[in-house]
Amino acid sequence: MLRIGMLTSGGDCQALNAAMRGVVKTLFTSDTDVEIYGFLEGYKGLIYSNFKMLTGADFSGILTKGGTILGSSRTPFKTIKDPDENGVDKVEAMKQNYYKLKLDCLVILGGNGTHKTANLLRTEGLNVVTLPKTIDNDLWGTDMTFGFQSAVDVATAAIDCIHTTAASHGRIFIVEVMGHKVGYLTLNAGMAGGADIILIPEIPYDIDQVCKAIERRHKNGAGFTIIAIAEGAISKEDAALSKKDYKKKLEKSPFPSVSYELADQIIKKTGYDVRVTVPGHTQRGGSPCPYDRVFASRLGAEAGRLILNGEYGFMVGYRNREIVKVPLEDVAGKLKMLEKDALIIQEAKLIGISFGD
C-alpha cells in the first residue's frame, strides 16, 4: 500500500487540478494499492492535520477546472521555523503528521517559496516530489511552469481588448501584468498582444526613452500606444537606489503600483491622455489552456512514475523539450529571470518594440 499526501501551496494558478489528476491517474493505473491524503490550504493542512481522503472520483472532471480542489494559502518560508501564535513548532508538526499517517511520500505543488519549504522537509527526512506551478515562470530548474501559458492567454486577451479602445480614442494605454519580480509573463503577453513598449524588471526603464518611443509613434502617424508593464518593473533611478531606500520610496509613494507612477510621468512629460488597466488576479483564473492541460498532465504522470519507482527528492521539470527530474536542493531558493540579451528580447527589439532602455 502506498500512502501519498498531496498539497497545493502559494498563489493558485490554472492547471493545478490537471497536474494532481495526472499524478493520481498514474498511481491508480498501476497495480499498486494507493491511498491519497489531500491536505487542505497548503502547508497549513499538513501543520494542523487538516486533510481529507480522496478517491478517484475526486479527480474525475477536474482537468479543465481552474483553482485547486485542495485550496491553497501562503505559509512564508521566512517564518517556517518560528513557532505559530500558539507555540506550535510548524516543521515538527508537519513531520509528526506525516509519520502519524504513515505516508510514503508528499506531492507538493508550488512555486518558489513552496519549494524552499519542500526542500526543508526533504532535509528533515520526508519523501517529497514536487511540481512547478506559477504564472510567473520564475522557478529555477524548469524552462516552463504550468499556469504560465494560461496566464499569457488571459493577459493577452486584456491587451487585445485594450487595443481596440486605444485605437478608437488615440490614447496611451498602460496594461500592468503580473509576474512578481520577473518579466516572462509581460514579455510574452506584450508580444502576443502587439504592445509597442514592454517594461520588465530585468531591464530598468528610462522614462525619457519611454516618452521618446511614444513620440516616435505619434510622429509616424500612430495615434495610440500600448505599454505592457510588469508589476515588478522598475525605473533606472529606482534601480540605482539601495534596497532600503527603494522600500522607503515605495512606502511613501502616492501610487498604488508602478503603472500609475509611469502614467503620471508620461502625462507630465508629454501631455498625452493616459489610462491604466490592471487585469490582476484574472490572470491566475479560469480554465487552463490546452497547452497547460497537456503539460500539467505530463508532469503529473512523471511524478507518479517517480513515486512508483521510489525516487524522491525531485521536482519534475521541463528542460530542452524534455520532462526531467531536478534535485530539490538545486531548485530551492533560486529565482529564474530573463536574460537582458535573451534572443526573444533581441527579436522583440528587431520588430520595433521598445524596452525603455
x/- mask, ligand F6P, residues 200-239, rule CB under 6 A, reads: -------------------------------x--------
Of 18-26, 133-141, 268-276, 300-308, the window that binds ligand F6P (rule: CB under 6 A) is 133-141
Min CB(152)–ligand F6P separation in Å:
12
DSSP codes joined into one string, 140-209: TT-S--BTHHHHHHHHHHHHHHHHHHHHHHT-EEEEEE--TT--HHHHHHHHHTT-SEEE-TTS-B-HHH
x/- mask, ligand F6P, residues 8-27, rule CB under 6 A, reads: ---x----------------
User: Could you tell me which residues are beta bridge partners of residue 51?
Assistant: 39
Min CB(139)–ligand F6P separation in Å:
10
Asked if 111 touches ligand F6P (CB under 6 A), the answer is: yes
Query: Which residues, including other chains, have CB under 8 Å from residue 210's CB and lie 6 or more apart?
Result: 197, 199, 227, 262, 266, 354, 356
Distance (Å, rounded) from C-alpha 96 to C-alpha 319? 35
Which residue from 134, 145, 225, 235 is in contact with ligand F6P, where contact means CB under 6 A?
Answer: 134
Q: Active-site residue numbers? A: 136
By DSSP bridging, strand 314-319 and strand 322-327 are: antiparallel
Min CB(100)–ligand F6P separation in Å:
30
Min CB(53)–ligand F6P separation in Å:
29
Residue 136 or 292: the one with the smaller Cβ distance to ligand F6P is 136
Asked if 47 touches ligand F6P (CB under 6 A), the answer is: no
Of 59-67, 84-92, 96-104, 131-139, the window that binds ligand F6P (rule: CB under 6 A) is 131-139
Q: What number of CA atoms fall less than 13 Å from residue 240's CA on the CB side?
A: 5
Asked if 179 touches ligand F6P (CB under 6 A), the answer is: yes
Strands (DSSP E) contained in 178-290 are 197-199, 225-230, 274-277
Which three cell numbers, joined as nine digits, stand for 78?
521566512
Residue 83 or 256: the one with the smaller Cβ distance to ligand F6P is 256
Asked if 136 touches ligand F6P (CB under 6 A), the answer is: yes
Tell me the residue number closest to ligand F6P, measured at CB. Answer: 178
Which residue from 7, 63, 109, 135 is in contact with ligand F6P, where contact means CB under 6 A?
Answer: 135
The residue with cell 509519520 is: 99
Report the site for ligand F6P in 259-318 (rule: CB under 6 A). 284
Asked if 116 touches ligand F6P (CB under 6 A), the answer is: no
3-state secondary structure 81-122: CCCCCCCCCHHHHHHHHHHHCCCCEEEEEECHHHHHHHHHHH
Which residue from 115, 180, 293, 305 is in contact with ligand F6P, where contact means CB under 6 A?
Answer: 180
Of 17-25, 30-38, 174-182, 299-307, the window that binds ligand F6P (rule: CB under 6 A) is 174-182
H or E, element range at 237: helix 236-240
CB-count burial class (<10 Å; 0-12, 13-18, 19+) for 197:
buried
Q: Residues touching ligand F6P: how many (CB under 6 A)? A: 10
Using CA atoms, how far residue 46 sits from 23, 49, 112, in Å, is 19, 5, 18
Chain residues in the site for ligand F6P (CB under 6 A): 11, 111, 134-136, 178-180, 231, 284
